[in-house]
Amino acid sequence: MGVTSVLLWKDSNGQGMMKFHERITTTLLGSAKDKWAIQVKLYRDIKSTGTDDVIVEAEREMENILEKLKNLWLLRQTIVYDGNTYIIGDFLIRVAYPKTTNSNYKGMLVEVEYTSTINPHVAAPILHEFIEMLKPPEIDIVKWEPDDEHSFSKIGLSEDAFTRAHTDYQYMMLFKMENLL
């Protein structure tokens, strides 16, 4: 695992996947590697009176535990994104659309992973430059970035070694920022 940046690729007409595939394989000479899917589940604390939701990404065992705690946690919504993984040099690019388009549809998810390091400080400028090269100028992207108020260290994650939990936190913040769930 390297350092990953999570993006929302704004695509109102649903043609982004084909354009993306063409740009990756033809213009940037990348290759399709595998199919990729991600499932996002939103659970709500039943006793909560506020509007804060908790997004949980977990193995099946965790889902079983949450199902047994149904008097505390309620599954509110599930969205499955389906797409492909591409490879260009030291980068893995994962792109997916929601399987069913609903009124909350806002585009496709893109994960760009730089596999040569786990240090986010080293990877950040490289990822930024690659993402700028990757996206066509007419496409808007939304990306959550850590700041003083919402940093990785404030939730107990390392600032020097990137893990899957860092990627999960980016998803949570991006979904919250864009009202995807």
CATH class of 3-38+80-178: alpha beta
pLDDT tens for each residue of 5-50: 999 887 656 667 777 888 889 989 999 899 998 887 776 666 665 5
Instruction: State pTM to two decimals.
Output: 0.80
| Pairwise CA distance, residues 163 & 9, whole Å | 23
| Pairwise CA distance, residues 135 & 131, whole Å | 6
| Pairwise CA distance, residues 41 & 46, whole Å | 15
Cβ atoms of residues 159 and 35 within 8 Å: no
| Pairwise CA distance, residues 19 & 119, whole Å | 31
The confidence band for 81, taking pLDDT boundaries of 50, 70 and 90, is confident
Q: Say which range, 57-61, 113-117, 131-135, 144-148, has the weakest mean pLDDT.
A: 57-61
- Which pLDDT belongs to residue 55? 46
Domain boundaries, the chain: 3-38+80-178
| Pairwise CA distance, residues 127 & 170, whole Å | 15
Cβ atoms of residues 166 and 156 within 8 Å: no
Cβ atoms of residues 102 and 176 within 8 Å: no
For the stretch 52-56, contacts whose Cβ atoms lie closer than 8 Å and that sit 24 or more positions apart, written own/partner, are 53/176, 53/181, 55/168, 55/171, 55/172, 55/175, 55/176, 55/181
